[in-house]
């Protein structure tokens, strides 16, 4: 089979559906790769690089479209400006097209493609499931767009992102608010944080809170129990009360932050309005708003799609080609997504639109001219049927009998003799210890017994005191050390009550000094450890 890669004709589009590297991967899958001359020039991929990758360069777009079995593109088909003919009619009848299609918004395009008996797989319709992540072109492009949004904001912001203290004065760090913590939002958070800004983020889905905080940003919460998690990892439309609460939060944040990046999109509907005209007017002069939803109407009321302009001293960035502004990287990632999808389709030898494959079924919007979008919702796994006739219950198994010794009687008698000998030995040691204590009691002075009693009790009491100390501000080892030192100090104080310059008093004073140093050092080390974990 032949795969065709045309030059994108959308105004300002710099991406290409295959790079020299991904073209080699397509050839390994068994496909013959045809590419229009100059298709990769805007993404800094020369024709020579494609020729070196064994691709066939085709100068005439008509020839490319007519000879290719499968056409892979970035943008949906549109009017070809040079040929003055829609790309839909360049696709040969019964051919296959793989590109972004956006079937929810392009009903007429689907009808035209259906008339060509085409089979169409939409990269924007790939199911967002774990198994399909390597084919998820929406996430690939959103990742690039989020990063690029921060770069665009930095280029229009007239201050540093990180805070600085210089001889000429102190520069506070920029404050960035990211609305929406999907793939694009998380990429924007990461880029802004790496540039040194103070980053705040908001999302209607509480499940992303940990992801936001793990990247070092502050997650803004509303006192609402409503969850905005929708199907496919997207957010859903929230209640009127929730929207009013979040709008009040945005109005408050607009007065404080320097940069707002909005990423809120719900597939198939107009982008929700989040930043009103009044909010923009309340922002500090020199602030920046990057509206990543500009192509679908925008999250900001004053956004002009495909334009960058100043409104009331605030720069409004409404660019709709953020991934295209990093065309080389975007083309590589998108081309890799396409390679994985074509591999999922079976490659050249086993190429098949298999509706038993949930990834292929979800991405297919047309099959041989028949509209197959939207795909049916996945059915829950069938539950095992409950039988009306009660099943007989097996009687409980009888308890296992105790194992019967099968050793030889002589061996059993030998084992019994060993146990008997060991018990006699223990009894002998116990009797010897008793005799020793009696002998000590008879021969030792009367004060010895009282001291021995105190010593034994001190061992048990000290053990209980030391090991029951709760390590609230210390590690367990430090707590035990301080407890021992405390007992030593108490013992030293008691010894000071005797003669002032006796050996006992001097040793007690030394014990007090060393114990005090140990406890003080323990607290000092603990404080230094705690400061290591403080921001």
Q: Which residues are catalytic?
A: 128, 133, 136, 139, 234
Is residue 117 packed enough to be buried (19+ CB in 10 Å), middle (13-18) or exposed (0-12)? Answer: middle
Asked whether 13 and 81 are in contact (CB, 8 A), the reply is no
Q: Report how far residue 177's alpha carbon sits from residue 258's, in angstroms, rounded to the nearest whole number.
A: 8
CB-side exposure of 350: number of CA atoms within 13 Å?
5
| Torsion sign over Cα 319, 325, 330, 331 | positive
C-alpha span between 267 and 261 (Å, rounded): 19
**Cβ–Cβ < 8 Å for 474, 482:** yes
**In the chain, count of helices (H) and strands (E)?**
15, 19
Distance CA(328)–CA(242), nearest Å, equals 41
Both tokens of 416, joined, read: 């019994």
Tokens of 464: 């209980």
Burial level of 401, CB count in 10 A (0-12/13-18/19+)? exposed
CA atoms within 13 A on the CB side of 92: 15
State how far the Cα of 425 lies from the Cα of 435, in Å rounded to an integer: 16
Tell me which residue has tokens 């028949």: 370
Structural tokens at position 524: 């000092």
Dist. CA 45–CA 16, nearest whole Å: 9
Element (H, E) at 98: strand 96-99
33 with 98: CB under 8 angstroms? Answer: no
DSSP three-state, residue 316: strand
- State how beta strands 119-122 and 364-367 pair: antiparallel
Do residues 135 and 126 touch, judged by C-beta distance below 8 A? yes
Strands 32-36 and 56-58 turn out to be parallel
Token representation of residue 115: 């008339």
Q: From the CB of residue 176, how many other CB atoms can be counted at a distance below 10 Å?
A: 29
Q: How do strand 288-291 and strand 314-317 relate by DSSP bridges?
A: parallel
Kindly give the residue spans of alpha helices, DSSP state H, lying in 11-98.
Answer: 20-28, 47-52, 61-67
């Amino acid at each position: 089979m032949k795969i065709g890669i045309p030059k994108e004709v959308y105004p300002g589009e710099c991406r290409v559906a295959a790079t020299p590297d991904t073209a080699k991967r397509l050839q390994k899958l068994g496909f013959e790769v045809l590419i229009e001359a100059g298709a990769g020039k805007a993404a800094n991929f020369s024709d020579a690089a494609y020729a070196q990758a064994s691709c066939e360069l085709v100068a005439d777009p008509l020839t490319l479209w007519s000879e290719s079995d499968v056409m892979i593109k970035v943008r949906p088909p549109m009017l070809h400006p040079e040929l003055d003919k829609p790309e839909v009619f360049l696709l040969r009848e019964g051919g296959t097209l793989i590109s972004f299609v956006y079937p929810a918004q392009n009903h007429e395009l689907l009808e035209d493609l259906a008339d060509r008996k085409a089979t169409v797989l939409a990269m924007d319709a790939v199911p967002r499931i774990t198994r399909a992540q390597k084919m998820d072109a929406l996430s690939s492009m959103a990742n690039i767009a989020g990063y690029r949004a921060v770069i665009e904001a930095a280029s229009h912001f007239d201050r540093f992102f990180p805070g600085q203290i210089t001889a000429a004065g102190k520069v506070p760090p920029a404050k960035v608010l990211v609305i929406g913590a999907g793939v694009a939002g998380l990429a924007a958070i990461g880029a802004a944080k790496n540039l040194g800004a103070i980053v705040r983020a908001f999302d209607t889905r509480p499940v992303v809170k940990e992801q936001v905080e793990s990247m070092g940003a502050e997650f803004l919460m509303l006192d609402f129990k409503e969850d905005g998690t929708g199907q496919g990892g997207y957010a859903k439309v929230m209640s009127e009360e929730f929207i009013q609460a979040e709008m009040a939060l945005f109005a408050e944040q607009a007065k404080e932050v320097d940069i707002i990046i909005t990423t809120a999109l719900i597939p198939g509907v107009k982008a929700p309005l989040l930043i009103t005209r009044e909010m923009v007017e309340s922002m500090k002069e020199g602030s920046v708003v990057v509206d990543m939803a500009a192509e679908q109407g925008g999250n900001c009321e004053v956004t002009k799609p495909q334009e960058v302009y100043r409104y009331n001293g605030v720069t409004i960035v409404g660019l709709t080609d953020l991934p295209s502004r990093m065309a080389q990287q975007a083309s590589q990632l998108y081309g890799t997504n396409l390679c994985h999808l074509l591999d999922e389709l079976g490659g050249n030898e086993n190429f098949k639109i298999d509706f038993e494959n949930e990834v292929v079924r979800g991405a297919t919007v047309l099959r041989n001219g028949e509209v197959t979008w939207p795909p049916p919702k996945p059915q829950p796994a069938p539950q095992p049927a409950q039988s009306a006739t009660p099943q007989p219950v097996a009687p409980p198994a009888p308890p296992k009998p105790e194992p019967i010794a099968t050793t030889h009687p002589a061996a059993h008698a030998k084992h019994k003799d060993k146990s008997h000998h060991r018990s006699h030995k223990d009894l002998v040691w116990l009797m010897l210890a008793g005799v020793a204590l009696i002998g000590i009691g008879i021969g030792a002075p009367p004060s010895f017994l009282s001291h021995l009693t105190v010593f034994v009790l001190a061992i048990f009491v000290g053990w209980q005191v030391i090991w029951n100390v709760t390590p609230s501000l210390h590690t367990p080892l430090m707590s035990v050390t301080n407890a021992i030192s405390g007992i030593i100090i108490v013992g030293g104080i008691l010894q000071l009550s005797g003669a002032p310059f006796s050996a006992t008093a001097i040793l007690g004073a030394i014990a007090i000094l060393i114990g005090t140093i140990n406890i003080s050092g323990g607290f000092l080390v603990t404080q230094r450890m705690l400061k290591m974990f403080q921001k």
